[in-house]
A and B are shown apart, each in its own frame.
Chain A
Amino acid sequence: MVQLWFTTPVLRVALFSLVLARAALAEEPVPSVATDDDTDPHDEHQSATPEPTKKADEVTVRGRTAPPSRGASDFQLKVGELARVPRANAARLLELAPGLFLANEGGEGHPEQIYLRGFDARLGQDLELTVGGVPVNQVGNLHGNGFADLHFVVPELVEALRVVEGPYDPRQGNFAVAGSANYELGLERRGLTTKVTKGSFGTERLLLSWGPEGYGRHTFAGGELVRSDGFGTNRSSQRGAINAQVEGVLPGTGTWRLLGTSYATHFSSAGLLRADDVGRGRVDFFGTYDPRQGGDATRHSVSFDVEERVSDTTYRLQVFAVGTTLRLLENFTGFLHDPQEALQNLHTQRGDLLDLAVATKSVGLRASSRMRFKLLDLPQEVELGAYARGDDSDGQQVRREARTNAPYRVEADLQAVSSNLALYMDTSLKVQKWLTFRGGARAEYYGYDVLDRCAVQSVRQPSRTNPPGDSNCLTQQDQGRWREAFQRSTTAGSVLLPRASLLFGPFDDFTFSASWGRGARSVDPIYVSDGLATPFAELDSGEIGASWQQSTEAHAIALRAIGFRTHVDRDLLFDEVAGRNTLAQGTTRIGFVGSARYTTDDVDLSTSGTWVRATFDDTGLLVPYAPDLVLRFDGSYHRDLFERFEGSPLHGNVALGSGYVGRRALPYGQRSEVIFTVDGAASLGWKGLEATLSVQNLFDARYRQSEYVFPSVFAPSDGVTLVPSRHFAAGAPRTVLFTLGYTLGGAS
């Protein structure tokens, strides 16, 4: 049944897309002067819908509908000049949103670990990530359900982000536990741009991008190739990413977009180190225990979407297809988790290196129609939407022997076909000019068909004539009775998620909001059992917020303050044995967020702070790992240094970014070290030429970007350490990069 759904609609969607694309390609591309889908970043509490106008002597403005704001925690972030703040990759742009902190313990090609509002969202399990509406979270990835790798995004092509902290928008789907983030791609600079970067640790980067003149900024192509030896030991990496999009117009007032992305990486990883070993000088702060760690990843996606307004209703349809592969080699525990089992031949600890390989294929669609009408002489809106996604993931995790590097045990070998269908209704209703209700409900259906190809790993009474020995995907039951090694399980579940926001204002530039929503995290296919109800993790989240924003010709200021509370009935916690997060008890988080952004023609400043207290419901003890205090500052200052230099102005820019993460709670009453880093950049531009010097970790702070507490044995001859011990991943030291760029033709 599930497979039928998986194949037939895909064909239908593909055919429909082709028909649409064929019709649309006959049209002219969108002229740059006639495209405007901007929503004022400082007007975030309005349903910013550019009104298409058609007058005899004026151009037609075609625009995309911005989703209506959900209150103070709905951050529509224009990257703008803050793109000049040095960042390792596009994922780091998420840190423009208050309270978002990223770390990476797995190497350059490993996704960033995300912390938000007291959630350790690991590699995306608790943050729904999309790029141009295309989902990034992978369903059924063995390394973690919701695994999300943003390295396929070329940073220069990110135009804006919408980050909704909390589950308050009915459009938010699976994984929107702590919130959701959507990257909007675009290229302001027209013409052909080449950038070459060279710097510390043998880092080299080539960026090519082009935006055809006469086309809107949503028609572009760009790609990067990056290689680096990496700091310390075993951190080399190579990657390439290409993003390309075409935007065209429909016969009416609508537009269509075709987006393609492609990405591949190969990287090494130093992994985690025991703090006591580093303290005793057994291993260097930037060293590694196991140089086999690292991985490979690829991602290819294509998306086509149309948006058209007919009368008072805006229709939108998007179809997408994504294919990914991932291989990760990680060793968290050294020589600890290879117990001598009765069935096995005698062996010593062979090593805990996990070798994970996952391939996923996803197809899906989004469709919505939003109708505007008047009631009580006030504008009202109702939106109906649908979302469908099918995923086929195939993953295998084995342990590899330290001495020979041969795989010696299959830990998991799963194929999962999952279906997620959702329907939602969203409204924006006004009873007074100053009072807006926004919200509705989302109904989700999740279906799973999981084939466990290694279902039997042990048997108490094996055959004496045909003993299983060291193989661990067994084909026998007790007394040696035959059975196949696989087991198939299917299950399904559905859930209704109401979400609502009340917006009061604006009163003298102040707007107040109160939001409440229910979210859910779908079950990891590895936990699916035949016929058992799908164990969702459900959460309730509520918040109150206030914002003040003022825009003049000279400047724009936006200030926000938010208090929130979130309760999760079944949380997830990192487990070093599985190398992923596993189920834990219910948790509650309360916290406060403050943020400010100040923008003028010369200056763009953004700062935010988030404090959160996350506790287990049963004991009242703190939830480990999630940071309770995150502060962030980003700023850029730019001006013309000379009116004319050889006939053209000389542009100067300085940018500064700084992050502070307080001492995170760790297991056993411990606290992590503080993280405080400062990044800076200065650039000079003249005509199409620009030279930039950027420094990440300006003061060369020696810090631990990730810290964990668990037992490990990396030096068995020195004693088997079974008591939990502090481990960490070293943060990058000072990294200096010089970039020379040239743009031929075009104009900003």
Chain B
Amino acid sequence: MKLVRAFPLVLALALGACVGTTGGEVVSFGAQLAGPEGVTEHRVAFTSGRGLAVTLTKASLRVGAVYMNRSKPIPVAQEKSCISTGTYVGEVLGGAEADLLSGAPVRFPRGGQGTSEAAVTGELWLNGGDLDALEDKTVVATVEGEVVLPAGAKPFRGSITFGSNRRSAAIDPARPGADAPCKQRVVSPVAVDVTLAQGGLLTVRVDPRAWFALVPFEDLREEGGVLVFDDADTNASSVGLADGVRAPQGVYRFEWSAN
């Protein structure tokens, strides 16, 4: 009888034991990759940063993974590593490839995982294999379109990979790892203001128009009347396009919508 009377006390004690939290929670959310808002017809015309009239008819991007960090990268630490020293609060793995001019977002198949802490930094990994591998032949970005040069309108095309083709020929013998392949493939820091929550949706919006901000076009080689971006750092336009794809500012935007 005494035991029966004591039971509520024991129960209260047991329940009380689970009161409180260490803060935050673990969340799952959806994630998608999308082009710029309002672009739906596989065609977008704009004036580039160099003042050139460009019409894009194809722009696709493959993203290997997306991360969010609660800290801004520390320059010295970032010099050492492609993985930030702060705590990662969100990640989207599995990769996705999107046609950025279709207006149709593409879902990351595995969704995202994270914790409910505010993220201030975003990262995109533009890889298809091991981030640190010297070689990666995965085509990350593809572009096609037309540019109006002083000599007239010219079609152009190009595709970009980040492998040994981007490795600098002049390697400092004292710092052979300074130009690590992973640094070519990580877009960081993208400024974000997102607090993840269970069931929400993360949209990584990519504006391919900004890829051309520093592309002069005039130094591109021509193949059958088409200007071709080299998949290597051979001329300023090819370098400019690759730099545009991995530019942390002005290209990528992280949007969050609660469920």
Contact = CB atoms under 8 A, between A and B. Distances in A.
A720 B64 CA distance: 10
Contacts of A628: 17-18
Contacts of A345: 176-177
A339 B23 contact: no
Interface string B163-182: 00000000011111110111
Contacts of B115: 668, 723-724
A382 B173 CA distance: 71
Given A611-B16, A615-B20, 9 more contacts: A339-B80, A342-B175, A347-B177, A467-B176, A611-B17, A622-B21, A665-B21, A669-B116, A720-B83
A464 B176 contact: no
B132 A668 contact: no
A439 interface: no
Given A665-B20, A722-B67, A340 B175 contact: no
Interface in B74-116: 79-83, 87-91, 93-94, 110, 113-116
Nearest to B123: A722
Summarize B's interface: helix, strand, loop or mixed.
loop
Contact of B79 (A342, A347, A464): A342
A641 B176 CA distance: 80
26 contacts: A340-B180, A343-B175, A344-B177, A347-B177, A348-B130, A348-B133, A349-B130, A458-B80, A463-B174, A464-B173, A464-B174, A621-B22, A623-B22, A629-B14, A665-B20, A668-B24, A668-B25, A668-B115, A669-B25, A670-B26, A711-B88, A719-B110, A720-B93, A723-B91, A723-B115, A725-B113
Given A624-B22, A722-B67, A462 B176 contact: no
Contacts of A463: 174
Interface string A655-666: 000000011011
B22 A609 contact: no
Nearest to A726: B26
Contacts of A336: 83
Contacts of A670: 22, 25-26
A615 B23 CA distance: 11
B177 A342 contact: yes
Interface in B5-35: 13-14, 16-26
A78 B61 CA distance: 71
Contacts of A343: 174-177
A671 B18 contact: yes
Contacts of A342: 79-80, 175, 177-178
Interface of A: 336, 339-349, 458, 461-464, 467, 469, 609, 611, 613, 615, 619, 621-624, 628-629, 662-663, 665-671, 711, 716-725
B26 A669 contact: yes
A113 B174 CA distance: 44
B56 to A, nearest CB: 30
A464 B173 CA distance: 6
B18 A663 contact: yes
Contacts of B133: 348
A340 B132 contact: yes
Contacts of B80: 339, 341-342, 458
B177 A622 contact: no
A723 B119 CA distance: 12
Contacts of B134: 346
B91 A722 contact: yes
A340 B182 contact: yes
A668 B175 contact: no
B131 interface: yes
A629 B177 contact: no
A649 to B, nearest CB: 34
A461 B79 CA distance: 13
Contact of B22 (A347, A665, A718): A665
B65 interface: yes
Contacts of B174: 343, 461-464, 467
Interface residues of B, number: 48
B83 A348 contact: no
Contacts of B79: 342
Q: Which one of A348, A621, A722 has the greatest number of beta carbons of chain B within 10 Å?
A: A722
Nearest to A662: B17
Nearest to B131: A720
Nearest to A349: B132
A348 B132 contact: yes
Contacts of B91: 719, 721-723
A719 B176 contact: no
B136 to A, nearest CB: 11
A180 B116 CA distance: 39
B175 A462 contact: yes
A667 B22 contact: yes
Given A349-B132, A668-B22, A344 B176 contact: yes
A400 to B, nearest CB: 18
Contacts of A349: 130, 132
Contact of A340 (B18, B67, B89, B177): B177
A346 B164 CA distance: 12
Contacts of B81: 339-341
B88 A666 contact: no
B23 A724 contact: no
Contacts of A718: 93
A565 to B, nearest CB: 16
A628 B172 CA distance: 55
Contacts of B178: 342
B103 to A, nearest CB: 28
B82 A622 contact: no
B12 to A, nearest CB: 10
B16 A722 contact: no
A724 B87 contact: yes
A669 B17 contact: no
Given A723-B115, A724-B87, A666 B22 contact: yes
B176 A346 contact: yes
Nearest to B20: A622
Contacts of B23: 619, 621, 668-669
Nearest to A592: B13
Contacts of B177: 340-347
Contact of A723 (B13, B25, B114): B114
Contacts of B25: 668-670
A370 B24 CA distance: 53
A613 B177 CA distance: 48
Q: Which one of B22, B94, B175, B177 has the greatest number of beta carbons of chain A within 10 Å?
A: B22
